[in-house]
């Protein structure tokens, strides 16, 4: 199991220069991938384009870009531009978005998320390969092609998937999945077997399974978990995460986050490897000192 490092907003407010420094530090420490999330701050793709161009020695990815706000022709253009900027090192992670945010902030429909994602991926894949599309579907219309000179390759595409139908879709039409706030039980018993079977049925290669969680190496675990519970409270309430937390037997994000001493964190990570996770995306959590201690351990484990 490889270990990647989350950079940017998920670790707390940071200037663009600071995010580039985080990516450079991740590369120097030997992490597999630097992952940028789309939140309410920096644009994930633009950030990773700048940081990835400045730091050439690490793979980069988005985890994830919500797709309802971006037509697939727009996203394909953005993704291929980033792919060119980072010399083919991009993994494009996409997701349906949190429903209450998609509808409440943007006024966009959130019904039939699996149907919408199926149409989206059906169009996005060919566009990323430089092919023309002529799609008039139930939820999406897309006609045309994206032309990027220079023979830019299509990035690997991962889909944020936790529910059974979305997991199977990710195995069928994408290169794998990337999860957030999902523990080893839900991954090992539900997500990994289902996506692996779906990929095999579709004649695709074994899927990538990237699992993301806050990680904090600390001697005051109860205090850190209390802070995580407060900061990520939304995840305990919305259905997209609530169902997965229930499968794990977790009351909230504080129960699936990896928090503890160096020994405890290392032991926790082995459970994700044993569950079939191919890359762990660690989001260092806490104060600067806590994050530095966490990154030091993770870098040792990554080596």
> Any idea what the CATH number is for the domain that residue 200 is in?
3.20.20.30
- Is the full-model pTM beyond 0.95? yes
- Residue 99's pLDDT is what? 85
- Residue 61's SS3 state is strand
All residue ranges of the chain with pLDDT < 50 are none
- Distance, CA of 24 to CA of 158 (rounded, Å): 24
- Residue 102's pLDDT is what? 87
Q: Among 71, 73, 166, which residue's Cα sits nearest to residue 113?
A: 166
- Residue 240's pLDDT is what? 87
- Residue 256's pLDDT is what? 98
Show the CA angle centred on residue 214, arms to residues 6 and 30, nearest 5°: 40
- Residues forming beta bridges with residue 60, ordered by sequence position: 34, 90
- Give the CA count within 13 Å in the CB-facing half-sphere of 124: 29
Q: Among 77, 254, 62, 70, which residue's Cα sits nearest to residue 159?
A: 62
- Residue 101's pLDDT is what? 86
- Residue 161's pLDDT is what? 97
- Residue 224's pLDDT is what? 98
Sign of CA dihedral 140, 68, 35, 80: positive
Segments forming the whole domain that contains residue 21 = 2-302
- Residue 98's pLDDT is what? 86
- Residue 40's pLDDT is what? 83
Taking each helix axis as running N to C, give the angle between helix 16-29 and helix 288-302, from 0 to 180 degrees, rounded to the nearest 10.
Answer: 30
Residues in contact with 269: Cβ distance below 8 Å, sequence separation at least 6, in sequence order: 1, 3, 258, 280, 301
Q: How many domains are there within the chain? A: 1
- Residue 234's pLDDT is what? 87
Other CB atoms within a 10 A radius of the CB of residue 95 amount to: 26
- Distance, CA of 145 to CA of 237 (rounded, Å): 40
């Amino acid at each position: 199991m490889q270990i990647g490092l989350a950079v940017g907003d998920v670790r707390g407010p940071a200037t663009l220069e600071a995010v580039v420094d985080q990516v450079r530090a991740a590369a120097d420490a030997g992490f597999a991938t630097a992952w940028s999330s789309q939140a309410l701050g920096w644009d994930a793709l633009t950030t990773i384009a700048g940081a990835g161009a400045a730091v050439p020695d690490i793979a980069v990815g988005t985890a994830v870009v919500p797709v309802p706000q971006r037509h697939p022709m727009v996203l394909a253009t953005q993704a291929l531009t980033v792919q060119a900027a980072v010399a083919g090192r991009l993994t494009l992670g996409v997701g349906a978005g949190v429903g209450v945010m998609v509808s409440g902030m943007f006024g966009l429909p959130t019904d039939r998320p699996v149907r919408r994602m199926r149409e989206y991926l059906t169009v996005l894949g060919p566009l990323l390969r430089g092919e023309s599309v002529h799609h008039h579907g139930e939820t999406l219309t897309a006609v045309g092609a994206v032309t990027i000179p220079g023979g830019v390759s299509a990035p690997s595409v991962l889909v944020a998937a936790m529910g059974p139908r979305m997991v199977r879709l990710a195995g069928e039409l994408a290169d794998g999945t990337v999860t957030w706030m999902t523990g080893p039980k839900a991954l090992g018993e539900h997500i990994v077997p289902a996506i692996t079977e779906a990929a095999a049925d579709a004649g695709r290669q074994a899927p990538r399974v990237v699992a993301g969680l806050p990680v904090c190496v600390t001697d005051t675990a109860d205090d850190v978990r209390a802070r995580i519970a407060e900061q990520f409270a939304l995840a305990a309430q919305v259905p997209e995460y609530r169902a997965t937390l229930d499968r794990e037997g977790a009351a909230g994000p504080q129960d699936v986050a990896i928090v503890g001493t160096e020994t405890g964190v290392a032991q926790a990570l082995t459970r994700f490897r044993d569950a079939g996770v191919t890359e762990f995306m660690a989001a260092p959590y806490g104060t600067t000192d806590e994050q530095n201690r966490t990154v030091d351990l993770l870098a040792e484990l990554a080596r």
